[in-house]
Amino acid sequence: MTSILQYPLPLPPILAHPSSTAPLLITQGAEALLYKSTYLLPSLPCALKYRPRKPYRHPTLDTRLTKHRILSEARLLLKCRKEGVPVPSVYAVDEGQGWLMLEWIEGEVVRVRLNEWLRWRREKGTAEGEEEGELRGLMERIGEAVGMMHGVGVVHGDLTTSNLMLKSREHAEVNDHAEGGEENLLAGEVIIIDLGLASVSRFEEDRAVDLYVLERAFGSTHPRAEGLFEVVLEAYGKSFKGAPIVLKRLEDVRMRGRKRSMLG
Ligand SMILES: Nc1ncnc2c1ncn2[C@@H]1O[C@H](COP(=O)(O)OP(=O)(O)OP(=O)(O)O)[C@@H](O)[C@H]1O
């Protein structure tokens, strides 16, 4: 969990209802607020993604845009779920009120876990290249998850290590440093979140751009793990029939990216 703040903004009516569990604001992005609350039973946690009204937008356009985004994310999550892609379940949706209620994923985003693991390895004095099994395993699971999503015809549009979560296994705990269980930091199922910019596409180009964005995210956020990005691609290459062509296309996308950065 990144940060737990009090809720300074008006709550969507569903969370203001007396039967609702007191919501916690988990993140406040530019467009959406993410609350933790419960669904139906106080023991079933949920994530509520709320897109409040934007006073700076024309009200009619704002309502349309919000409805479109909420419905699009819900539809794509349902499609992925139905076809076995690891994403959170959709519990409820109210596009008119601007919210989407999802299964709460117990765990942490890959960005945080990976950085903790890399720091632990550095502090231990382990050289890069050693103790790589855990990291390779994670990279493989990421490649497989992205491949499954592409295989059912969905592209993400914003693939970063902040939009991949590691779901803790039930009853499994991430041991603290003193107990020497740090390798568990990278354990767990990879769940793809935030399909707010996702779309349906079977174009190799769109899939390759998704991979390129993820590769760049590794380069900038986890340069110490970037060397193993090839493991993501290897696993991706085996994950669905069209994957090898996407990997070929990725080379073109990289080349264009390099040219663009050379030209400034
Ligand atoms: N289903 C979930 N279970 C647990 N935590 C979640 C879940 N979905 C999101 N989160 C947490 O909330 C954060 C923000 O979620 P998300 O990325 O969907 O919203 P956002 O970036 O604000 O949305 P958008 O980019 O569509 O405007 C995530 O980084 C993650 O920490």
Which residues are CB-neighbours of 96 under 8 A, at least 6 positions away? Answer: 67
| Residue 193, ligand 1, Cβ within 6 A | yes
Q: What is residue 226's predicted lDDT score, i.e. its pLDDT? A: 86
Q: What is residue 178's predicted lDDT score, i.e. its pLDDT? A: 39
- Angle ∠(215,144,2) on CA atoms, nearest 5: 60
Options 158, 194, 206, 252, the catalytic residue: 158
What is the C-alpha to C-alpha distance for residues 78 and 81, in angstroms, rounded to an integer?
5
The residue behind tokens 């041991």 is 175
| Residue 77, ligand 1, Cβ within 6 A | no
Please give the biggest Cα pair distance in the chain. 58
Q: What is the pLDDT of residues 55-72, one digit of tens each?
A: 888 999 999 999 999 999
Q: What is the pLDDT of residues 23-38, one digit of tens each?
A: 899 999 888 999 999 9
| Residue 102, ligand 1, Cβ within 6 A | yes
Q: What is residue 42's predicted lDDT score, i.e. its pLDDT? A: 87
Q: Which ligand 1 atom sits closest to the C-alpha of 195?
A: 26
Of the candidate CATH numbers 1.20.120.1750, 1.10.510.10, 1.20.1600.10, 1.20.1060.10, the domain formed by 107-263 belongs to 1.10.510.10
Q: Which ligand 1 atom sits closest to the C-alpha of 69?
A: 26
State yes or no: is 158 an active-site residue. Answer: yes
DSSP single-letter state for residue 57: S
Tell which CATH architecture fits domain 13-103: 2-Layer Sandwich (3.30)
Q: Residue 232 Cα, ligand 1 centroid: separation in angstroms?
A: 23
By C-alpha distance, which of 46, 30, 52, 53 is closest to 197?
Answer: 30
Q: What is the pLDDT of residues 104-142, one digit of tens each?
A: 999 999 999 999 999 998 888 877 666 789 999 999 999
What is the C-alpha to C-alpha distance for residues 41 and 37, in angstroms, rounded to an integer?
10
The residue behind tokens 């596409």 is 201
- The H or E element that residue 36 is part of is strand 33-38
By C-alpha distance, which of 95, 107, 100, 118 is closest to 192?
Answer: 107
Q: Are 50 and 99 in contact (CB under 8 A)?
A: yes
- Side-chain-side CA neighbours of residue 153 (13 Å): 9
Q: Which ligand 1 atom sits closest to the C-alpha of 104?
A: 3
ipTM: 0.94
Q: Where in the chain are the domains? A: 13-103, 107-263
Q: What is the pLDDT of residues 150-160, one digit of tens each?
A: 999 999 999 99
